[in-house]
Amino acid sequence: METVNTPTSKRKWKPSIPHVYVILFSLVIVAAISTYIFPSGEYERMVDEAGRTIVVADTYKETVSTPASFWSIFQAVHKGMVNSAGIIFYIFIVGGSFGILQATGAIEAAVGSIAQKMKGKEILIIPILMTFFGLSGAMLGLAEETIPYITILVPLMLLIGYDSMVGTAVVLLGTSAGFTAAFMNPFTVGVAQGIAEVPLFSGLHLRILFFVIFLAVSIWYVMRYARKIKKDPTKSALYNDTDSDSFKIPDTILTLTNRHKIIFVILLGTLVTLAFGVIKFGWYLSEIAGLFLFMGILMGLVGKMNFSQISEQFIEGCRVLVMGALVVGVANAILVVLQDGKIMDTILYGFSSVIGDMPAGFAAFGMYMVQCLLNYIIPSGSGQAALTMPIMAPLSDLVGVTRQTAVLAFQFGDGISNIFTPTSGYFMAGLALAKISWVKWVKWIFPLILIHYVLGAIFVTIAHYIGFS
């Protein structure tokens, strides 16, 4: 019998986006190489009246070079984890507590109750639910945790006469608007302000105003589209998309019980206590983490969980945030290499020399643009804060921008592209659940993304000129 050899088909290489850890460790290597290229130097530092360590302008001087060794590259990751331990475990504890809240079913029940009560007034479901998800992002920092609700809202929106895009947008745009313009997000505002050494959750009033505007624009965009396709289904961005037919209306929709209502009372009490503790007693990461842990245990008990179940749900909540939490330590490894190699201040000196003679308003806008670009390769908010704020905070001192404005520039730059860039894992997971292609989503949302970028630039500029502090 003769054997016929057939040519094996060659696999076509497809470009893929590296994992965020790969990107960050590559930056660690680049930082190590940079210690051999750039001169070492240092600024003098002092502690101001608010207790912050600030860079003293015009004190930069070159020092003896201490370039990174091959072995120090790998040690830097552990050192970065140790340096960031307070923030990493803060993220785990808060995330674990939200995992318990998620397991009680209270959020799912609230969404179901709102949907049922809005029958006959379907268009009002959009602003109500987007506000709900917006506040979840703005006050609790929820992002990945809201993705499961896409599977609830998409079938409901199809039943009402809208499409999958509306159901997905209610969750993603609502959460994103809150996350981007957050006023009490513990994972972005809290982390960035902690690193920048400004009081936690300070600047609340202006942030709330920006949040309202961001959310209102997003709601307008979704409602405008929903009305259009309700009148003419052929205007849908997903018209003739057969994937939408695969969604089934859920057999049962949870409604709020008395236990769920008590859980929301506990949540409200936690947020009020948080605001009071931060403003009145200057609470920091340990106190806030303790408060959220207490909240999670109470919610679990009210939700009829035993302590073992509470522990399991706490671990599940931590699991969701493992990547984001550890990104903070890996990002800090870059700073370890730059600091040990004594070129961190050289970088600061270079930045300040370039933009120091510009109007400070341009410096604030430049910070915003840098943060916007970085978010396309580092989609983790906490990780981006850990990477950039140690540079941006002292840089803001040197160029006449308040640290609060620097935090705001980070906040907007980090948040806007989270529902646009394919490097955002939770966003891509949401599209997959909704069976919407990334290309169709980008085509639909692109005008709103541009609007958000313009709003971010305007708000950062306003914050600078009013001396936001």
Beta bridge partners of 55: 45
Burial per residue of 247-277, b for 16 or more beta-carbon CB atoms within 10 angstroms, e otherwise = beeeeebbebeeebebbbebbeebbeebbeb
**Confidence (pLDDT) at 311:** 94
Residue ranges of alpha helices (H) inside 200-244 are: 204-231
Short-list 178, 175, 150, CA closest to 164:
150
In a domain? residue 38: yes
In a domain, 312, yes or no: yes
349-370 b/e (C-beta count within 10 Å ≥ 16 → b): bebbeebeeeebeebbbbbbeb
Instruction: Give the pLDDT of residue 2.
Output: 47
pLDDT in the model for residue 89: 86
Q: 40: phi > 0 → left, psi -120 to 50 → alpha, else beta; which?
A: beta
What are φ and ψ of residue 253, in 5° steps?
A: -115, 120
Q: What is the DSSP letter of 303?
A: T
Within-domain flag for 12: no
- pTM attached to this predicted model: 0.69
Is-contact 17 423, C-beta < 8 A?
yes
3-state SS assignment for residue 53: strand
- Per-residue model confidence (pLDDT) at position 1: 46
Domain, as residue range, for 283: 20-58+68-466
Q: What is the biggest distance separating any 2 CA atoms in the chain, rounded to whole angstroms?
A: 91
What's the rounded Cα separation, in Å, for the pair 23 and 384?
A: 12
233/235 Cα distance (integer angstroms): 5
List the chain pLDDT tens, one digit each, 469 residues: 444 555 544 555 555 667 767 877 888 898 899 899 989 888 777 776 656 666 666 777 888 888 989 999 999 999 988 988 887 887 788 888 888 988 888 877 877 777 677 766 778 889 988 998 899 889 877 776 676 677 677 877 877 778 889 989 998 999 999 989 999 888 788 888 888 888 888 898 999 999 999 999 999 999 999 999 989 988 988 887 755 545 555 556 667 889 999 998 998 898 788 778 877 787 777 888 899 899 999 999 999 999 999 999 999 888 877 776 787 788 778 878 888 888 877 876 776 666 666 676 788 888 888 888 877 766 667 767 776 788 788 888 888 889 999 999 999 998 898 888 765 666 776 777 778 888 889 899 999 999 999 999 999 999 999 999 8
3 part of a folded domain: no
- Report yes or no on 435 lying in a domain: yes
Q: Is 398 within a domain?
A: yes
- State how far the Cα of 192 lies from the Cα of 210, in Å rounded to an integer: 18
Q: Are 94 and 143 in contact (CB under 8 A)?
A: no
Q: Between helices 403-415 and 438-465, what is the axis angle to 10°?
A: 170
Query: Cα(288)–Cα(270) distance, rounded to whole angstroms?
Result: 10
The total of structural domains in the chain comes to 1
- Residues 342, 343, 347, 350, Cα dihedral to 10°: 100
- The answer to whether position 4 is within a domain reads no
pLDDT at 13: 58
| Whole-number pLDDT of residue 452 | 96
Structure tokens at 446: 């692109």
Calculated CA dihedral for residues 160, 162, 168, 172, nearest 10 degrees: -100
Instruction: List own/partner pairs for 110-115 with CB under 8 A and 24 or more apart.
Output: 110/256, 110/260, 110/264, 111/149, 111/152, 111/153, 112/152, 112/253, 112/254, 112/255, 113/254, 113/255, 113/256, 115/153, 115/156, 115/253
* Token reading at 366: 């430049």
6 occurs within a structural domain? no
Question: Burial, 122: exposed, middle or buried (Cβ in 10 Å; 0-12, 13-18, 19+)?
Answer: middle
CA 451 to chain centre: 19
Q: What are phi and psi of 159, to 5 degrees?
A: -65, -40
Kind plus residue range of the DSSP H or E element containing 41: strand 41-42
Cβ burial, residue 37 (10 Å; 0-12/13-18/19+): exposed
Instruction: Report the distance separating Cα 413 and Cα 368, nearest Å.
Output: 6
52 Cβ contact partners less than 8 Å away, ≥ 6 residues apart:
197, 198, 403
